[in-house]
Amino acid sequence: MQNSWRFLIIHLTLLLALLLNVMPLPAAVKLFRPDWPLLVLCYWVLALPNRTSIGTAFVLGFLVDVMVGTVLGVNAFGYSLICFIVAANHLKIRNFSVLQQSLLFGLLLALYHLVVFWFSHFLTGVYFRAAYLWPVATGMIVWPYLFWFLRRTRRQFKIQ
C-alpha cells in the first residue's frame, strides 16, 4: 500500500504540471510559460530513473499533444528524446550543482523546442520566431526552485 501511494505522488506532480501547462494566462504572459510537464518529468527521470521512463515521457507528451491541440506525437517524441538523454546521463547530471543543471536543462529545453518546431514546420508549415525560445529562459529560471520543491516532496514522502 505504501509503495502505491508513493508512486501516486509522482503521477500527481505530473498531473499538476499538466494543469499548469493549460492554465489560461494573458497573451503577454503566455509566451513566457515554462514547459512545466517536461521540467517535472526531467526531475523524476533524474531522481528516480527506475520509476519514470521514456514510456512515461511518451504518454505525458501525448497528453500534452491532446490538451494543447498540436499534431499528435510531436510533443511525445520531444519528451521522449529529452528524457532519454536525461536518463542516459542521470548519474553525471546528479553531480552538477543546481545552477549547472539549470544551464544544462536550458540546452535540453532549447533542443526540445527546436525538435518540436522542426516537426511542426514540416507537418503544418509554421515559421520560426524568436518568441518560441522564451520558455527556455523561464525554464532555466524556474528549474532550481522546482528542483528544490520536488526534492523536498520526494524526501517528505520517502519516494524511492
* Contact between 147 and 101 (Cβ < 8 Å): yes
Residue given cell 510537464 in the structure block: 37
Q: What is the C-alpha to C-alpha distance for residues 107 and 147, in angstroms, rounded to an integer? A: 17
DSSP 96: S
CA angle, residues 101, 48, 137, in degrees to nearest 5: 30
Predicted TM-score of the model (pTM): 0.95
Side chain identity at residue 18, one-letter code:
L
Sign of the torsion formed by the C-alpha atoms of 69, 80, 38 and 132: negative
For residue 73, pLDDT over 60 is answered with yes
pLDDT at 56: 96
pLDDT at 2: 67
What is the band of 1 on the pLDDT scale with cuts at 50, 70, 90? low
pLDDT at 44: 97
pLDDT at 126: 85
